[in-house]
Structure formats: structure tokens, C-alpha cells
Structure 1
Amino acid sequence: MSAVEVRADMVNGFYTGNSRNCGYNLGVFYSVIKGNNANTWSFGGEYLQTYKPYGEKGRIPVAQFTGEVGYNLRIVSDYSQTFHLYGGVSALAGYETVNWGESILRDGSTIQAKDAFIYGGAVTLSADFYLSDHVALGAHLKEKFIFGNDTGHFLFAYGIHFKYQF
């Protein structure tokens, strides 16, 4: 069996538009469900947008484009199979851009952080609630460990997902 999943997350806090260091994450994943135990292999991509505070009221955008491969182990499910709780690990790689490649800010300051190829991993806790045989809504927590960049190594995300199983 297989599934397609669409994710929407908040990153490093709750983004309201006025937040100076929060962001959001959007992703699409394809999962292959193996055997009767419902463990899955997942393959997908994500776009992440965060901000770094600058000066009194400014902020600098940091965007990441990553591909991810992971394994999710089913921890628990109910008797009717309408609820599943998964724990997972994954490897990721991609590209990070700081201020969309512009190193000079409006006030003449120079950004020292450079665009870079990034790599790392993630740990995920995910809950799926099946509304029918093929459709599930869920929530998840994810901690990313990113290396190769100048903007930080840890990103915490939480969000919701929609999964269609076929």
C-alpha cells in the first residue's frame, strides 16, 4: 500500500506575521506501507521559510529547500485501526538561501551568512486519525538537525497533515 501526504507546519514558534524569528514549512511526501505492522518508508520534499531578527524591527528571511528519506515505526494503534502513532527518523539534504542571495541589506550592512548546501536528519512523532479507509488527518512534531549552514543547526516544527492512502 502507498500514501500521499501534504504537511503544513509552524517552525520555531507560532508565526503571526509580527513574529520576528518564526516561520512555516510546507511539504509533500510519498509513503510506502510495509507489511501488517504498518511501518512506512517515506520520501518527500519540503519548503521551509524562517526569519532571523535584525535591528529594532527588521528580520532577514532564510529559506530551505530539502529532500527527505525516512522510516516511521508504528508505536501504537487502536483495535479498529482508526488511530496510529508513529515515531520516525529521516535523513535530509538540500539548499539554504539567506535573504534570497542578497548579501547587502537596505541600511548598507553586509550579511556574513552565505547560501549553502545543507544536510542532516530529523526525528518525528506523528499521529494519524483515519476518517475512512483511505483518508487520514493527523498532527506531528518534528526536530530537524541541519549542518553545513551558518544560520543554526536545530529547527523545531509542529503541524497538521492530510494523508490519502491507495
Structure 2
Amino acid sequence: MRAYIIALVASLALFAGQAHAQRCLPGMRGIEVKANLADGFRPGGNDGGYSFGAALSTYTKKGNKWVFGGEYLMKDNPYKGTKIPMAQFTAEGGYYFKILSDARKIVYLYAGASALAGYETVNWGDRMLYDGSTLWDRDAFVYGGALTLDMEIYVADRIALLVNLRERCLWGGDTRKFHTQWGAGIKFVIN
């Protein structure tokens, strides 16, 4: 009789709930790919920009994470009916704190700070414009940081959708220092 009760309790324990994969464990790594809009978006005439980035994230204790990656930001600046392109190629290293997660470990909200360094080019290095004007803005190395709000929404054990909002501030270049970005991405957990 005792063996029968133990078998019944064990089978109820197996079928009563579902086992969920463990997420954000120390040492787990993921590859993130993101696309963002920068400095607004106006369908009738966009003077905002866009960015693409990829990063490697490594989780630490308490679900926090280190993020190392690169990003390409492109923005067109209006000039007499045309646009002058400005591009930034930056590398990033930062730490993100987990500030919120749900009980089932599906949604995570992070706040992070990153150091950025890279290169900025204006009009792809061509200082002479079509109308004979000369650009005073030069290509330069840029450095600074970014503050980020990042949300991960797990759709599978190893795949998460990303939503982010960030403010970049870069010095060293001749163009605008601050860029607000918002966008989405996908993350693949690799181990």
C-alpha cells in the first residue's frame, strides 16, 4: 500500500506542472541582432536615421549581463533640397542591470550603461558639395557612452525578441552629439 501511495504522489508531481527552461544563468551567452530608428522618423521626409548592430551578451549573477558589440548608424542631414550623409561605426562594451522580470521568466527589463568608441564620417569623406560649397565637418574618431532600456521577451527556450530605447552621446566629431534610438531585434542563446 505504501509503495502505491508513493507511486501515485510521484506521478501527480510529474503531470501537475510544466518544467520551464532555466534562463539567464551565469555564463550563458547570446548573440543579439538589432535594428533601430535614430532621431525620429517622418514618413513624408525622413531627416532621422537608422542603425544596425550585433552584440554578444554574457549573463552574470542575478540575471545581469555584459554586452560587447558593434553598431553602424546612418543619418541624412538636409542641405538645400538634398541630403548629406553622416555615418558612425562604433564598438560597445557595457553592463546591464536586470530591473524587472515576471514570475515565469519570459519577460526581462534591463537598464544599462555602455562605453562607445569608433569612427564618424561625413559625406563619406568628400568635403566638396555639388554646389561648390565646402564642408567644415570632418571625419573623426568619436568616443562617449550610451544609456539603454532593453526588454527581452522569450518566445522559445533559446530565442528572445528584443525591444530597446537608448540615448547615445559621442564627442570628438563635428556633428550632432546626442542620438536617440529605438527599435527591435532578436537574440539567440548559444550556450
User: Structure 1 length as normaliser, TM-score?
Assistant: 0.95
| 1:24 counterpart SS class | strand
- For residues 8-157 of structure 1, the aligned pairs below 5 Å read 8-14=35-41, 16=43, 18-19=45-46, 21-35=47-61, 37-55=62-80, 57-157=81-181
- Offset of residue 18 of structure 1: 2.8
- Offset of residue 54 of structure 1: 0.7
- Offset of residue 53 of structure 1: 1.3
Structure 1 unaligned regions, length at least 5 = none
Cα RMSD of the aligned pairs, angstroms, is 1.0
- Offset of residue 17 of structure 1: 7.7
| 1:69 counterpart SS class | strand
**Separation in 2 of the partners of 1:90 and 1:15?**
28
Instruction: Identify the residue that residue 6 of structure 2 maps to in structure 1.
Output: none
Task: Give the 3 Å change call, closer, same or farther, for CA 12–134 of structure 1 in structure 2.
Answer: same
1:39 maps to a residue whose letter is N
| 2:134 counterpart SS class | coil
2:79 maps to a residue whose letter is Y
**Separation in 2 of the partners of 1:123 and 1:15?**
24
Runs of 4+ in 1 over 4 A off after TM superposition: none
| 2:124 counterpart SS class | helix
What whole-Å deviation, never above 9, does each CA across 1:42-63 have from its counterpart, x for those lacking one? Answer: 00000000011112x2110000
Larger proportion of strand = 1
**Separation in 2 of the partners of 1:96 and 1:151?**
9
Larger proportion of helix = 2
**Separation in 2 of the partners of 1:145 and 1:64?**
12
| 2:111 counterpart SS class | strand
**Separation in 2 of the partners of 1:54 and 1:136?**
40
| 2:141 counterpart SS class | strand
**Aligned residues between the structures:** 163
**Separation in 2 of the partners of 1:17 and 1:142?**
24
| 1:131 counterpart SS class | strand
Q: Which has the larger radius of gyration?
A: 2
What whole-Å deviation, never above 9, does each CA across 1:107-138 have from its counterpart, x for those lacking one? Answer: 10110000000000000001111001110002
Q: Is the Cα contact below 8 Å between 1:15 and 1:24 reproduced in 2?
A: no
